[in-house]
Amino acid sequence: MGFLKRCLLYAEGAKPFLCRPVVRSCFLFSDFFLIITALYLLKPTSRSFFIENLGAEMLPYVWIGTALTMGTFIGYYNRLIVRRARLHVVLGSCMFFIILLLFFSAALAGMVDMPALVKASAAGYYIFVDIVGVILVEQFWSLSNAVHTAEEGKHYYGFIGTGGLVGGVAGGGISAFLLQKAHLDSADILLVAAGVLLLIFALTLFLGWLGVYDEVRAKDGQRGKEAAAGWRALFKNRYIGLIALLLLLAQLASPLVDYQFLSIVEQAYTDLDKRTAFLSLFFSILGGVAIAINLAVTPLVHRYLGVIAGLLVQPLLMGIASFGFFLQPVALMGAISKVSDRGLSYSINRASKEILYVPVDPVLMYQAKAWIDMFGYRLFKVLGSMVILLLTQWLPFKVQLPHLSFLIMGICGIWIAIIWAIRPEYYALARTNASGEEKSGGLS
């Protein structure tokens, strides 16, 4: 008993050191690493099980289902956040997700001899994984924002965010290794992911005990009011409206690229576990590409060519890759097209679009971002899914998979035009902000 007391006293005495910004950021790096590792263990299996049981042609329906489920779930989730301590919601979410993973693992492993239930489970599991990704990442940044000042965020958020990129590489790599070398099957990966979620639960509990995660309820209440008025911000300010259109065009093109990629994967890999292994390896490479671009390409482009050039990279390369897929609709070209979408979106495009917000009034920025993140992305993903269904299933004539590339190239063309339209406004605002800072600096 005396030894236990001494350990507790030592741990209490170590709290100030463990809560220092640098040490705290290392903990948060680890937490975000585990979250994205779990997500990228689950993501390949969700795609593979869905294709196995329902086929790639049904993907637009599950994307619409995801958006509708997310809309319903987010409303309940926001009410829960208001009523319960945020840390408790995170811990409860982890345990709830673990229980659901055990259910999906049993259903998809063939333990239940009911084909209809297995198909429903494959669709439900796909939606579940997408929701897990949104909720865990949102919870993580929500908790992180509560403990960092704006100045600390500038210093440590890049490092913390890199934990997620490394987690993407690790999750896909671990999944591929376990399937190919350890001879596990796709359903077993769900149990591995449940173990990672258990680690996240333990780490979050430890960080809560340290006092890292403090509630900032007043700030949240204010942000809730701002988010409610978010859509009006898009009409108040032409610059903000152009940013929104820019981001939503990317979301419109993404389902088309994803549909081409997963459809060609379905044709190339007919075995469930081989398909899952390929997708796992691909997502790992995708994360590696995003890290390489983030570290090596993005700083150089921003330094020597500017933010506008950074924004142009994704639509230009996506358009070229889509044309390549039209000429040669094989798995390799589908993978290149997918990398041009997600690999660039998670790296140079994300960094560039965040810089677009810098000259904007902070309140107006939050209003716009809240609306785009909460509603706009889902709305445009549904729209993209509807376009796919219209062209491939609902019209009397069917558009072939490679010909969807022309629509992607058209969206990329509009995307580039919007970037060019936003260019003079961004530079004008940046100059105004720079002169304002110089004046305030002179006064001080």
CB neighbours (10 Å) of residue 391?
17
Give the span between the Cα atoms of 268 and 283, in whole angstroms: 17
Report how far apart, in Å, the C-alpha atoms of 407 and of each of 247, 311, 386, 388 are.
17, 20, 13, 10
Give the span between the Cα atoms of 423 and 400, in whole angstroms: 36
Largest CA distance in the chain: 80
> Is 1-212's fold the same as 224-429's?
yes
Give the span between the Cα atoms of 333 and 324, in whole angstroms: 7
* Rounded-to-10 torsion of CA 132, 134, 136, 140: 180
For domain 1-212, give the fold: Growth Hormone; Chain: A; (1.20.1250)
Rg (CA), the chain: 23
pLDDT at position 218 is 41
Query: Which of 319, 377, 381, 370 has its CA nearest to residue 344?
Result: 319
DSSP state of 75: H
Give the span between the Cα atoms of 246 and 339, in whole angstroms: 19
* Local structure of 146: helix, strand or coil: coil
147 in Cβ contact with 24 (< 8 Å)? yes
12: its two tokens: 């209490």
Give the span between the Cα atoms of 300 and 306, in whole angstroms: 9
Q: Which residues touch 438 (CB under 8 Å, ≥6 apart)?
A: none
Give the span between the Cα atoms of 405 and 260, in whole angstroms: 9
Give the span between the Cα atoms of 17 and 140, in whole angstroms: 22
pLDDT at position 148 is 64
| Residue whose structure tokens are 């009409």 | 235
CATH number at 224-429: 1.20.1250.20
pLDDT at position 232 is 61
| Residue whose structure tokens are 């997918």 | 338
| Residue whose structure tokens are 């890049």 | 158
Query: Which of 242, 286, 260, 240 has its CA nearest to residue 384?
Result: 260
Give the span between the Cα atoms of 126 and 45, in whole angstroms: 9
pLDDT per residue, tens digit, the chain (444 aa), is: 555 455 444 445 555 555 567 777 888 899 999 999 999 999 999 999 999 999 999 999 999 999 888 877 766 776 777 677 778 888 999 999 999 999 999 999 876 667 888 899 999 999 999 989 888 887 887 777 666 665 565 567 768 878 888 999 999 999 999 999 998 999 999 999 999 999 999 998 888 877 766 544 444 444 444 444 555 656 667 888 888 888 889 889 999 999 999 999 999 999 999 999 999 999 999 999 988 888 888 889 988 998 899 999 999 999 999 999 999 999 999 999 999 998 898 788 877 887 887 777 666 666 666 667 667 777 888 899 999 999 999 998 899 999 999 999 999 999 999 999 999 998 888 787 666 555 544 433
* Rounded-to-10 torsion of CA 37, 41, 47, 51: 170
Helix 186-210, helix 272-292: angle, nearest 10: 40
Instruction: Kindly provide the residue ranges of all beta strands, DSSP E only, lying in 107-233, ordered along the sequence.
Output: none
Give the span between the Cα atoms of 95 and 93, in whole angstroms: 6
238 in Cβ contact with 403 (< 8 Å)? no
- Give residue limits of the domains in the chain: 1-212, 224-429
pTM of the model: 0.85
